[in-house]
Amino acid sequence: MSALVGRPFLKMNGLGNEIVVLDLRGTAIRVRPEEARAIARAPGSRFDQLMALHDPRTPGTDAFMRIYNTDGSESGACGNGTRCVAWALTQEPGLDAPNGRTDLLLETKAGLLACRRQAGADVAVDMGAPRLRWDEIPLAEEFRDTTGIELQVGPIDAPVLHTPSVVNMGNPHAIFWVRDVEAHDLARVGPLLENHPIFPERANISLAHVTARDAIVLKVWERGVGLTRACGSAACAATVAAVRKDLTGRTVRVTLPGGVLTIEWRESDGHVLMTGATELESRGTFTPDVFAGAA
């Protein structure tokens, strides 16, 4: 029987990005890939990302987070999931009872994330500095200019999509600049681009339309997940890429199918700050049938 049976969880969302928060602090339990896939399939716990909280690794942090995609793979970053975790740890009795704290420091394998709960259900996360070199993203071959690499979809003389910007925000992102994010079948080309040989660790694929110096419309195919209503790290990556191409200023409202995130790429320290809403949908407990036949 799975060690997760009987464990409570929170079902949340960040702008429609479906998140499950699972507190495993004080235990040695680790979520296995097949367990993550089973949780994602169960009607009451479907998720885009599963945020598993473990005991802190670094002094001064509140928790170490492992982040699972629906296919059971792990991710280094999930901005919307991190915002949900920050809300839960400052608001939800049984995790950390409300104690007036509004600031937290969380850790993932990609680094430390400072969080601040704001008015209502809004949470801001410092996503850290983007990584911009080709070998940091990573790419399979060298491109000195990562604001636009040689990659296209369609005929060589009339490509449908081409010259994406690439950024690592704890995970790899490729951003294609388009005039209309709905004019392309991202569900069809997303999995092909995610698994393109140029991305040895696969990549999140975004279509971005800059509508003003402070506004981007974004649609995302998320690595290991598929089409998603919101992706915080993709919104951060698109903003960084837009600033580097001088398409926008350093503070941008990014509109995704699930809602709006405010992204600021600070000039002072190079960090990317993401602010947006969270929502608690339900509380649950894992039952044996969730993991029956898990594979």
Annotated ligand binding at 75? The verdict is no
Answer whether 137's CB lies under 8 Å from 172's CB. yes
- Whole-angstrom distance, CA of residue 220 vs CA of residue 68: 17
Query: Given 84, 115, 231, 236, which residue is catalytic?
Result: 231
78 part of the active site: yes
123: which strand partners?
A: 117, 276
How far apart CA 204 and CA 226 sit, in angstroms, is 9
Question: 107 among the known binding-site residues?
Answer: no
Q: Is 13 helix (H, G, I), strand (E, B) or coil?
A: strand
Encoded amino acid at 116, one letter: R
The two tokens of residue 112 are: 């430390």
Residue 13, annotated as binding a ligand: no
195 marked as part of a ligand binding site: no
Q: Is 14 annotated as a binding residue?
A: no
Among 212, 197, 217, 205, smallest CA distance to 172 is for 205
Q: Which of 78, 84, 115, 236 is catalytic?
A: 78
Q: Which has the closest alpha carbon to 274: 241, 223, 235, 242?
A: 235
Annotated binding site for substrate: 17, 49, 69, 79-80, 171, 204, 222-223, 232-233
**Active-site amino acid positions:** 78, 231
Annotated binding site: 17, 49, 69, 79-80, 171, 204, 222-223, 232-233
